[in-house]
């Protein structure tokens, strides 16, 4: 499915200022108060804890702060819609879907809450608003599954807000962090449906609470001197990751169950609003901190090898329940993924013979009659290259196979449907069921949006990837 990119922007004015910094905006110097041996252990813990937060910030900076970024959408506290599905040209986020045109807003909730208003849309169309805090927890949802298709106005408040709820608000949702990302997904039924999606996106509204209620605006929040993020690759090796974490923690109030954790982080200089002077570290201390990062990545890699679905990777704080390794695995496998109730993700990195998927081999994913993924909304299988985890350019501009395409797929005489994964186009009628792969290593992701109970309880089983011959 190839759709021309167009952008529609709705910006809500608010008395909040933002600036982009060329260097990390942490003037104070933080002291390290422990031995290199202890520092290594704490650095491992901080790397696992902080990686998702730092990587999420990298994406937010590209989308909402860095005006030079090709991915830039506009400043925070605006609502921005992309009237297209993602293509290989979109590289800010790993493993993006290519089913639902996105809308985004990054909310600064320090001065006052923000009100999100959704329109009423037809019952058959799925849409959702995923609310993600600075921890990368999906702390709530709006839309088809969570609040229905009748729309309404929803007040998103920061951790310190204690105001009164005005009339016309369907629900008040309070975040644990000052900054919140809202990700809108609007189902697209096919290329001819894109104008309808654009019309729906145009009805998504955003307003500060004072503007919504017609009351005087509060004092503006202090302008943010945004830190410059690391690249996705450097996040895994650079000690600046810890300084970026310190920057982020300024806007993440300490929760009681994390106080001891944050106190340990302070022992290696991870203090909100402060900065480790990396250049002045002794060689032993610098080596210890880097070794801690390596140790943390090793634990993430070990967990990832045993992870076949996203079931335990994304969700609320209560659902993740302090398993920071799972949270980090989720960030590295597909940051900003949905909670399992909203979307099930089946991950395919190996064939049934245990060997990694490669474009040098042809594979088939076979769904027996009546065993297509059970979805209340829709399902899709999307192809990504490795290690980048981006969509794969190919001659037919097909990046996925999804449920709206089923009428056009070839069904076997026994009622089964086979999806062919290969770098080369299959011969004959099989070409209609072809999901093009890169020539090198790759992974595929099965998404089931608004999954039926049989998916969540394990009654339905996803098929294995088999050798085509």
Query: What pLDDT, in 10s, does the model give residues 2-55?
Result: 333 333 344 443 434 444 443 344 456 778 999 999 999 999 999 999 999 999
Domain range list for the chain? 25-214+226-339, 342-467
Res 168 pLDDT > 80: yes
Average pLDDT for residues 344-371, to the nearest whole number?
A: 94
pLDDT of residue 197: 96
Average of per-residue pLDDT values in the chain: 92
Per-residue confidence (pLDDT) for residue 15, from 0 to 100 = 37
- Give the pLDDT of residue 27: 52
pLDDT digits (tens, 9 = 90+) for 320-356: 999 999 999 999 988 999 999 999 998 899 999 999 9
Cβ-Cβ contacts under 8 Å for 134 (sequence gap 6 or more): 53, 56, 57, 177, 178, 179, 180, 248, 251, 252
Res. 191 pLDDT band, cuts 50 70 90: confident
- What would the two tokens of residue 51 be? 């990686």
Q: Is residue 332 within 8 Å of 51, Cβ to Cβ?
A: yes
CB-neighbour burial class of residue 226 (10 A; exposed 0-12, middle 13-18, buried 19+):
buried
pLDDT at 96: 87
pLDDT (0 to 100) of residue 20: 42
Nearest alpha carbon to residue 239 among 195, 287, 206, 198 = 287
For 258-299, write each residue's pLDDT tens digit.
999 999 999 999 999 999 999 999 999 999 999 999 999 999
* Topology annotation, domain 25-214+226-339: Immunoglobulin-like (2.60.40)
pLDDT above 90 (res 445) = yes
Helix/strand/coil (H/E/C) assignment for every residue in 351-411: CCCCCECECCCCEEEEECCCCCCCEEEEEEEEEEECCCCCECCCCCCCCEEEHHHHHHCCC
- For residue 11, the model assigns a pLDDT of 40
Count of beta carbons in the 10 Å neighbourhood of residue 262: 17
Question: For the residues 225-240, what does the mean pLDDT come to?
Answer: 96
Give the CA dihedral 262, 266, 270, 274, nearest 10 degrees: 120
Residue 176, pLDDT above cutoff 80 = yes
Q: What is the pLDDT of residue 307?
A: 85
What's domain 342-467's architecture? Sandwich (2.60)
Question: 67-121 pLDDT, tens per residue?
Answer: 999 999 999 999 999 888 888 988 888 888 888 999 999 999 999 999 999 999 9
């Amino acid at each position: 499915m190839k759709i021309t990119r167009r952008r529609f922007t709705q910006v809500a004015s608010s008395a909040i200022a933002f600036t982009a910094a060329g260097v990390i905006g942490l003037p104070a110097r933080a002291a390290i108060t422990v031995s290199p041996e202890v520092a290594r252990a704490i650095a491992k813990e901080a790397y696992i804890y902080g990686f998702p937060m730092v990587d999420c910030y990298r994406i937010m900076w590209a989308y909402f702060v860095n005006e030079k970024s090709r991915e830039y959408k506009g400043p925070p506290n605006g609502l921005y819609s992309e009237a297209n599905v993602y293509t290989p040209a979109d590289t800010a986020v790993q493993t993006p879907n290519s089913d639902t045109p996105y809308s985004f807003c990054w909310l600064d909730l320090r001065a006052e809450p923000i009100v999100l208003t959704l329109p009423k849309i037809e019952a058959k169309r799925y849409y959702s608003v995923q609310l993600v805090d600075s921890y990368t927890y999906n702390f709530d949802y709006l839309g088809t599954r969570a609040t229905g298709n009748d729309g309404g106005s929803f007040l998103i408040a920061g951790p310190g807000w204690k105001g009164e709820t005005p009339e016309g608000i369907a629900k008040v949702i309070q975040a644990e962090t000052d900054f919140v990302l809202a990700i809108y997904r609007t189902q697209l039924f096919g290329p001819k449906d894109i104008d309808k999606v654009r019309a729906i996106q145009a009805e998504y509204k955003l307003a500060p609470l004072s503007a919504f209620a017609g009351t005087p605006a509060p004092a503006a929040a202090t302008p943010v001197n945004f830190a410059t993020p690391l690249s996705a690759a450097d996040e895994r090796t650079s000690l600046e990751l810890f300084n970026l974490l310190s920057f982020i923690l300024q806007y993440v109030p300490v929760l009681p169950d994390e106080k001891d954790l944050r106190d340990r982080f302070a022992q290696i200089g991870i203090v909100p609003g402060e900065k480790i002077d990396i250049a002045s570290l002794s060689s032993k201390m610098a080596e210890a901190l880097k070794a801690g990062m390596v140790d943390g990545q090793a634990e993430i890699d070990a967990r990832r090898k045993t992870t076949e679905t996203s079931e335990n990777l994304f969700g609320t704080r209560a659902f993740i329940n302090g398993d920071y390794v799972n949270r980090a695995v989720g960030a590295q496998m597909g940051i900003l993924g949905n909670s399992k109730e909203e979307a099930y993700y089946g991950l395919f990195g190996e064939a049934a013979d245990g060997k990694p998927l490669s474009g040098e081999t042809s594979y088939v994913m076979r769904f027996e009659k009546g065993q297509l993924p059970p979805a209340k909304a829709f399902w899709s299988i999307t192809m990504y290259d490795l290690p980048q985890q981006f969509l794969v350019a190919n001659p037919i501009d097909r990046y996925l196979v999804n449920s709206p395409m089923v009428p056009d797929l070839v069904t076997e005489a026994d009622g089964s449907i086979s999806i062919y994964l290969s770098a080369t186009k299959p011969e004959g009628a099989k070409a209609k069921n072809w999901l093009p792969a890169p020539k090198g290593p790759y992974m595929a992701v099965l998404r089931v949006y608004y999954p039926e109970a049989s998916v969540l309880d394990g009654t339905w089983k996803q098929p294995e990837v088999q050798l085509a011959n």
